[in-house]
Amino acid sequence: MQVLPRNIFFCTVIFLIFLKNHAQQIPDHYQLLYEEDFEGDASLNDFEISDSNAWKIGNGKTGQALELAGKSGYNPPVRSPLNIAFIKNKRFGSFILKADLQQTGKEYGHRDLCLFFGIKDHTNFYYTHLASSADPNAHNIFIVNDAPRTNIASRTTEGIDWGTTKNWHKMRLERDIESGSIKVFLNDMDTPVMEAEDKHFNFGFIGFGSFDDTGKIDNIKIWGPALAPQHIGFF
C-alpha cells in the first residue's frame, strides 16, 4: 500500500477541513440580521407569542433561554401548531438561521419542536416539524396556506433522537426565496434531515415553538442579504 508523505497527508487533511468549513460558511453577501442569547431581562419583548402564560425565560444551555413551558390557549383558524413565539417587527426573506434546541417533553412519536418562517398571518406560513418519528403529519416541512397544514418535504429522515430532557441540539435552517430551497440540519451540519422546494411565501416573520409539546430555544443567530422591517400584529 502506498503511503503519502507526511507533508502531503497533512495538506490533504487541512484541505478537507477547509472544504467542510467552507460549505458551512455564511455567504459573503449575507449579514447578521438578528441574534439573541436571552441573557437580557427584556429578551422576551422581542417576541410576539401565542399565549403569554405558556412562554417564559428559563435556564438555557449556558445561561438563560426562551422556554415553552406549557400549552398555549390558542386555537388557530386551521389545523396548525398551537405554540408559537415569533420575532416581531422583522421580516426575513432568504436567510440562514442557527439556534440551540432542547426538547423537554415526554417521548412519543410526535415529540417535537418547530421552526416557523415566511409567516404572513395566522393562516399563511411555513414550519419545520422536528419529531421523534416521521409520518404524514410529523417530522416534515409544512405549508399552512389558508388551509390545514400540508407536508411539502421532498426528503426527510426517519426522525429525531431527542435524548433526555437535558440534551441540547444544534439546528441550522437555510431558506432561499429565489430558488425556493429549504434545508434543515440538526447536529450534523453536512447532511440535511429534511429538504423542500417551494416559492409560495417570500418575506415573513421567523418563529419558534411546538405543535403541542414543550422545549427551549437558545443562542439564535439569523443571517441574510436583506431585512424588511415591518410591524404586523399576529395574535
pLDDT digits (tens, 9 = 90+) for 29-59: 999 999 999 998 789 999 999 999 999 999 9
Taken in order of first residue, the domains within the chain and their CATH numbers are 29-228 (2.60.120.560)
Eight-class DSSP state of 45: G
Residue 46's SS3 state is helix
pLDDT digits (tens, 9 = 90+) for 69-79: 998 999 999 99
Question: Tell me, what's the pLDDT at 202?
Answer: 92
Dist CA 114 CA 129 (whole Å):
5
Closest listed residue to residue 223, CA positions, set 32, 29, 37, 24: 32
Question: Tell me, what's the pLDDT at 47?
Answer: 96
Q: Which helix (H) or strand (E) holds 173?
A: strand 169-175
Percent of the chain with pLDDT over 70: 87
Position 17 pLDDT exceeds 50? no
pLDDT digits (tens, 9 = 90+) for 108-142: 999 999 999 999 999 999 999 999 999 999 999 99
Question: Tell me, what's the pLDDT at 14?
Answer: 52
- What mean pLDDT is reported for the chain? 90
Is residue 93 within 8 A of residue 33, CB to CB? The reply is: no
Position 20 pLDDT exceeds 60? no
Question: Tell me, what's the pLDDT at 44?
Answer: 92
CB atoms within 10 A of CB 67: 23
Dist CA 50 CA 119 (whole Å):
14
pLDDT digits (tens, 9 = 90+) for 213-232: 999 999 999 999 987 756 55
pTM above 0.85, yes or no: yes
The dihedral over CA atoms of 173, 175, 181, 186, expressed in degrees to the nearest 10, equals: 0
